[in-house]
Chains A and B, each alone.
Chain A
Amino acid sequence: MKKIEVIQNILEANETIARRNQQLLDKHKVFALNIMSAPGAGKTSLILQTLTRLKGRLNVAVIEGDVASTVDAEKVQSEAKAVVQINTRNMPESCSLMAAMIELALKDMPLDNIDLLLIENVGNLICPSEFTLGEHKRVVISSLPEGDDKPIKYPLIFSDADAVIINKMDLLPYVDFDIATFRHSVEGLNPKAEIFELSCKTDEGTERWHSWILAQVENNVTKQ
């Protein structure tokens, strides 16, 4: 019997594909966001809201990740330049999108006609934090009914986020969610994250979010 030194990152296979995805996106000047949250926090609402408000300014494509169904893809179909639905039920894994799934989806996209790609991950605050997809920035949504303790309970996903969105701000009078506590926890874990307070239902606070996206897309085009 002999011992062999290995020291090899087990996630490397995913990371290699993710890098390839990003190179492909960069080649076509597409800026990609990986949007993550618990189920029901408002990923699809945020995407719909963003699509509607940025119409005429950016060409936006969407990749929808769900365990099953095409309901989200149907909702965004009329507003997006292109939509690809990934049902993870038919994939080796159900709990998160992975870089290889995005690689397949990108084959069906008219990348030259797209400025912004919104990737809606599977609703889950644990598994998606381990898998990069090739995105340029990571967005995490928390909504008021979930409570202000989510960054403490799921620190990894908040530690890696570039933007954190507090959604359903219109419910603030009805729920016990302390905005200062939530902000303090996120800033502690991740001082670089931009925090947005908004409501996809009432549009309150969404302008700053749209400005952030427009600045990111512009920055991405000029960097190349």
Chain B
Amino acid sequence: MLHQMHEFGITENIINIALAKANEAQASKVIQINLVIGEMAGFVPDCIQFYFDSLSKDTITQGAILHFELVPTQLRCRHCSTLFQPQDTLWSCPKCRSQSIELSKGRELYIESMEVE
């Protein structure tokens, strides 16, 4: 068996959710799936697209456009609550220089909406 990356299962989930929602809406074709993916989430859009092309075959999602909205990493300083975007790999607060930092945005992975007909 081929070695699959974890985007394989993720893509299966995307298709399952899309099929269920299309069914609820009594749609006959999925035109576009709008996905939101955080920059820090370990999911590669090209890899999802690659699996989607084969897994969507013979379903009403076949040929649908996958639209990826990438959410940039946003960090929050635990000391002074400043919100900032990382400038390099060392996470430190631009205001107070603290390195006690939490991730406030950038781990998202969800389907935001779909276009169907």
* A interface residue numbers (CB < 8 A to B): 1-14, 67, 89-90, 92-96, 98, 126-127, 129-131, 152-153, 155-156, 159, 184-185, 187-189, 191
Contact = CB atoms under 8 A, between A and B. Distances in A.
A4 B114 contact: yes
Contacts, number: 113
Given A2-B25, A6-B17, A159-B102, A189 B9 contact: no
A67 B2 CA distance: 11
B41 A2 contact: no
Contacts of B42: 126-127, 129-130, 156
Top 4 A-B residue pairs of the complex, sorted by shortest distance between their CB atoms: A188-B99, A94-B3, A6-B111, A1-B117
A164 to B, nearest CB: 15
A159 B4 contact: no
Given A10-B109, A126-B42, 7 more contacts: A2-B27, A10-B17, A11-B109, A13-B13, A156-B42, A187-B100, A188-B99
Nearest to A156: B40
Interface residues on B, range: 35 or more
A131 to B, nearest CB: 7
B113 A98 contact: no
6 contacts: A2-B116, A4-B113, A6-B17, A6-B112, A89-B1, A155-B103
A204 to B, nearest CB: 28
A10 B10 contact: yes
A28 B80 CA distance: 44
B32 to A, nearest CB: 9
B87 interface: no
B102 A152 contact: no
B38 to A, nearest CB: 10
Interface in B35-93: 35, 40-43, 78, 89-91
A100 to B, nearest CB: 9
A156 B39 CA distance: 12
A184 B99 contact: yes
Interface core residue of A8, A90, A152 (most chain B CB under 10 Å): A8
Given A6-B17, A7-B110, A67 B3 contact: yes
Given A1-B117, A8-B110, A155-B103, A93 B9 contact: yes
B96 interface: no
A189 B103 CA distance: 9
A98 B113 CA distance: 26
A8 B31 CA distance: 18
Contact of A90 (B1, B35, B99): B1
Interface core residue of B6, B31, B107 (most chain A CB under 10 Å): B6
Contacts of B41: 130
A96 B112 contact: no
B25 A7 contact: no
A187 B89 CA distance: 16
B21 interface: yes
Nearest to B38: A156
A189 B40 CA distance: 14
